[in-house]
Amino acid sequence: MKAEEKTFFGHPWGLATLFGTEMWERFSFYGMRAVLAAFLMAPAIRNGLGLPEATAFAIVGVYQGMVYLTALPGGWLADRVLGARRAVLLGGVIIMSGHISMAIPVRSPVFVYLGLLLIVSGTGLLKPNVSGMVGYLYREDQDARRDSGFSLFYMGINIGALAGISLTPVLAGDRNWHLAFGSAAVGMALGLIWYTLGKRSLHGAGERVPQPLSAEERRGAVKWVLVGLVTLAVLAALLAVTGLFTEDGVTWTVTAIIALITIFYLSYIMHGGHGITPLERRRFGAYIYLFFAAVIFWMIFDLAPGPVTDFAMKSVDLTFFGFTIPAGWTQNFNSLFVIVFSPVFAAIWLTRWGSRVSAPLKFTFALFMAGLSFVVLATAANVASGGVRVSILWLMVMYLMQTVGELTLSPVGLSVSTKLAPHHFKGQILGVWFLAAALGDAIGGQTYRLTGFLSLTQYYLVLGGVALVAGLILLMFVRRLKALMGDEDVAPGQALTH
């Protein structure tokens, strides 16, 4: 970087370009997500789709899961076909188109579901590649500056989330859903404008296609795409013939597909014929334990826009410092806590104590925080079952505990992924890490069906108990996992999952 070149808090100005792009993309993502479940459940008289709660929450969960699942093909397309820079631009255009589709004020749900599909596809292209481009701004020997740059980048994610969640519930009210969806489209448009205007500051970062497909590989890729499309068409036809081509039938099917893809991909890495060494297999075996711990964590954490916000709307006194806030605003507690506590945790991980606590132990702690947060929520639900609205402080405590868990698991998860991935999968490991969120979100979306035979208090206790039991099991294997990992100190990178 030249001495006279404009900088962004001491970093290359290209970081400002990527910071703003991701900030506006997260504005659109979290802003739409903040009101999605409420829109799906709202009756037709309030311009909603009138779906049952369990179905609405399943759609939200599967939607979130698909967003993270598409990071794998999105990363592959950037590496082999488009290059990261074009992938981000194309992804942003597709995301904006999806929000525009959802903003069309018609009764039919067709444009809503089309919009969700477009957002899923576009996010798969944009999210992993805009994150990867941050790394391209620094030389390989600039680890400390790169980590600092990712810290700023992660701050942009949370600023965007905070702004989106603050605006859309106000615009939506109890019937203006399409106006809120339109604001998400505007946010993504602003991100695209910022990205396009700042392309010179990237100095070629992400422009090159790292491993372009050969002619033979291109033919093979086209064949597999066609096979995939035909398979989806056949599956849709089977669902239609059996009467299962409904919202519930599709969400169950997609959840099963995400689970199968996850199992297949992890098995392929462990046992596929690609030259993985015994040491790499042993280390990746340890990673799989941590991977499924992350699945359980995200299963609970990403219930925020569904069952948790629904509980806030129905059972929480939303008076905050003398003002009555929209229920969707409660999701902002996480963003606020992340912004406040991220520097604290970054400092802790740089201390001797941070390096002494192993990755498995950090994951264990995160599971305990997730489990205990739902014990708190179950207690609040039990109090509210008497017909009273509980204090918003219950939700603040729950979100604080989850945020502490997130800041313990998410940055460490990305770092340990890069350290334990077999050599041939180093470039794909970010997509593998996103699979944990994909599977956790999809399963989490289905869990509200348990309220068909459990009370709300019991439902939250069961999920909290699952996380606590998983934490205890992981705690029992901490020493074993450290041995499999080679007992290395794992210095956390920056959390990019959310």
**Joined tokens for residue 496:** 């990019």
List all residues 6 or more positions away from 125 whose beta carbon is below 8 Å from its beta carbon: 70, 74, 77, 78, 82, 87, 88, 90, 91, 94
Closest CA to 433 of 486, 495, 480: 495
List all residues 6 or more positions away from 464 whose beta carbon is below 8 Å from its beta carbon: 300, 370, 371, 372, 373, 374, 375, 377, 378
List all residues 6 or more positions away from 169 whose beta carbon is below 8 Å from its beta carbon: 34, 35, 180, 326, 327, 328, 329
Q: What gap in Å lies between CA 57 and CA 339, rounded to an integer?
A: 27
List all residues 6 or more positions away from 227 whose beta carbon is below 8 Å from its beta carbon: none
The residue type of 67 is: V
Note the pTM of the prediction, 2 decimals. 0.91
Q: What gap in Å lies between CA 365 and CA 362, rounded to an integer?
A: 5
Closest CA to 378 of 420, 315, 289, 297: 315
Plot region of 2 (φ>0 → left; ψ -120 to 50 → alpha; else → beta): beta
Cβ–Cβ < 8 Å for 211, 191: no
* C-alpha to C-alpha distances, 19 to 23, 273, 279, nearest whole angstrom: 6, 39, 38
Closest CA to 150 of 165, 124, 130, 164: 130
Q: What gap in Å lies between CA 8 and CA 149, rounded to an integer?
A: 9
| pLDDT, position 81 | 87
Q: Is 314 exposed, middle or buried (0-12, 13-18, 19+ CB in 10 A)?
A: exposed
Q: What gap in Å lies between CA 164 and CA 274, rounded to an integer?
A: 43
| pLDDT, position 148 | 66
List all residues 6 or more positions away from 5 whose beta carbon is below 8 Å from its beta carbon: 12, 13
DSSP string, 432-469: HHHHHHHHHHHHHHHGGGGGGTS-HHHHHHHHHHHHHH
| pLDDT, position 496 | 42
**Joined tokens for residue 435:** 């699979």
Q: What gap in Å lies between CA 375 and CA 50, rounded to an integer?
A: 30
Q: Is 215 exposed, middle or buried (0-12, 13-18, 19+ CB in 10 A)?
A: exposed
Q: What gap in Å lies between CA 99 and CA 182, rounded to an integer?
A: 6
Cβ–Cβ < 8 Å for 99, 181: yes
Per-residue pLDDT tens listing for the chain (498 residues): 444 567 776 777 888 888 899 999 999 999 999 999 999 999 999 999 999 999 999 999 999 999 999 988 888 888 888 888 999 999 999 999 999 999 999 888 999 999 999 999 999 999 888 877 877 777 655 555 666 677 677 778 888 999 999 999 999 998 999 999 999 999 999 999 999 998 888 888 788 888 788 888 889 889 988 998 899 899 989 988 988 889 999 999 999 999 999 999 898 888 876 678 888 888 888 899 999 999 999 999 999 999 999 999 999 999 878 888 999 999 999 989 988 887 777 777 656 555 677 888 989 999 999 999 999 999 999 999 988 999 999 999 999 999 999 988 887 787 787 778 787 776 677 778 889 999 999 999 999 999 999 999 999 999 999 999 999 999 999 888 888 887 544 444 444 445
| pLDDT, position 213 | 85
